[in-house]
Amino acid sequence: MSNIEQLPTTKLQHQDANAHLHPFADYRLKQQQISQIIVKGDGVYVWDSEGHCMIDAMAGLWCTNVGYGRKSIADAVHKQMLQLSFYNTFFHTTHLPAIELATKLVEISPAQFNHVFFVGSGSEGNDTIVRLVRHYWNQKEQPGRQIIISRQNAYHGSTMAGASLGGWPSMHKQGGLPIPGIVHIGQPSYLEGGQGKSVEEFGLEAASWLENKIRELGPENVAAFIGEPVQGAGGVIVPPSTYWPEIQRICDKYGILLVADEVICGFGRLGTWFGCEALGFRPDLITFAKGVTSGYVPLGGVLVADRIVDTLAETGGEFNHGFTYSGHPIGCVAALENIRILEQENILNQVKNETGPYFQQKLTALNAHPLVGNSGGIGFLGGFNLYKHKGSTVHDHIPFSTSDNAGNLARANILASGVIVRLMPGDRLLMSPPLTLTRKEIDDTFNKITQGLDKTYEQLKQNARERTVV
């Protein structure tokens, strides 16, 4: 055994910087050796190598739905590793955990889903979507239908197809993306586009961008529309209630497949098994990952509606696609135990009717803080913005300038108070805590966030005073 646990933090940071290229990191900053080292998790808490205990209000990376340290998941994984550590599911081979998990997923998913294709991650799920919908239309003898419409600022993963479906210019710049046949429309962000309109009006307008795009491209060329029920990494953007039903109507009208990327919204985050159930639409395909195993082991999948499976079964021919770890037995048993916990502890119901509304109440109350505006979310997803001056509506608030560094200050102060939140550009802070967060822990989370914000407010005032004197 190595003695890594005994090494001091500075040494570990040095070793990490020497050997480890992190995802989504600026490698110039490697030299500073600043990575935070997380060494332990229990319930909603994690500890770093310096012994600091923090409420993980990001659930790892939007995934630790049942919290850390679940012995029953570890036991299930341990048992399966000894029984059958791996076998593939290619061709016509299978194993007991894959059979049991597929059956369970069919049971808990909306009625149109009776089949699942397993993958290892959300990105692989979305690559599968691209290949599957194009294959479907070929088999339907409508090979012209190849274009997939997605949205600006969406996040659908980091593989070539995932990043192409995503709408982040920073990702498209690297690697010659998007791949052909993927186009983007605007996102349903009321903050960005809703000025002078009611939220409901804006929802219909944002959905109409899809219809306009379909007409522009020609419906005979469009395969599918993909969206996250609530955009997660793009800033926790909850669409107006009119948005998804209208998107559904448009997809139905033009016979276009509707894909819900539920990698964040699935497995209870919005108080339902899948986010589409909370937001009122009926997709043909669902991508899932993260919360299916609460991140204990990587696993993802695509739920495929009967209309697609029936066509592929009738027309025949191999679907030439799959991953070594599609339906990995260890991932499957972790998922089964995770789903059992979600059911047994009645977690979806709590998020929907009890702790979720309480979390949202506390989040909305943050708007009273002099720095905060546009706070809100749904279920156990949320976010808030920092503003220099607040006007009477969100559209009148004045943001900080980049040089104020408000977001970084706030994130660091909130972390120092003991809560992990995520910062995104535009001084927006995001939250996606474990679904097991209790009322008391919610109180504690928001007290600590307020402490961090108070300190930030004072620092920003002090910085502004110093600039005036200079």
Ligand X SMILES: Cc1ncc(COP(=O)(O)O)c(C=O)c1O
Binding residues for ligand X, per CB under 6 A? 62, 121-123, 126, 155-157, 162, 228, 232-233, 261, 263-264, 289
The number of beta carbons lying within 10 Å of the beta carbon of residue 316 is: 7
| Residue 185 and residue 149 in contact, taking contact as beta carbons nearer than 8 Å | yes
Closest CA to 80 of 345, 444, 299, 336: 336
CB of 17 to ligand X, least distance (A): 23
Closest CA to 301 of 119, 114, 149: 119
CB of 470 to ligand X, least distance (A): 42
Q: Based on CB atoms, which residue is closest to ligand X, 62 or 400? A: 62
Edge-first strand listing for the sheet containing 53-56: 38-42, 45-48, 53-56, 419-420
Report how far residue 448's alpha carbon sits from residue 434's, in angstroms, rounded to the nearest whole number.
17
Q: Based on CB atoms, which residue is closest to ligand X, 289 or 453? A: 289
CB of 120 to ligand X, least distance (A): 8
Q: Based on CB atoms, which residue is closest to ligand X, 117 or 457? A: 117
CB of 290 to ligand X, least distance (A): 6
Q: Based on CB atoms, which residue is closest to ligand X, 124 or 337? A: 124
Gyration radius from the chain CA atoms: 23
Q: Residue 342: left if φ>0, alpha if ψ -120 to 50, beta else—which one? A: alpha
Strands, E, within 161-273: which ranges? 182-185, 222-227, 257-261
How far separated are the first and last CA of the chain, in Å rounded? 57
CB of 55 to ligand X, least distance (A): 20
Q: Based on CB atoms, which residue is closest to ligand X, 264 or 394? A: 264
Closest CA to 463 of 392, 422, 406, 397: 406
428 Cβ partners below 8 Å, 6+ apart?
235, 374, 383, 384, 385, 386, 407
3-state DSSP call for residue 79? helix
Q: Based on CB atoms, which residue is closest to ligand X, 289 or 330? A: 289
| Residue 56 and residue 425 in contact, taking contact as beta carbons nearer than 8 Å | no
CB of 239 to ligand X, least distance (A): 14
Residue-wise DSSP of 229-240:
SSB-TTT-BPPP
Q: Based on CB atoms, which residue is closest to ligand X, 122 or 240? A: 122
3-state DSSP call for residue 355? helix
| Residue 250 and residue 210 in contact, taking contact as beta carbons nearer than 8 Å | yes
DSSP character for 401? Answer: P
Q: Based on CB atoms, which residue is closest to ligand X, 121 or 326? A: 121
Q: Which residue is nearest to ligand X (CB)?
A: 122
286 forms bridges with which residues in the sheet?
Answer: 260, 303
Q: Based on CB atoms, which residue is closest to ligand X, 232 or 377? A: 232
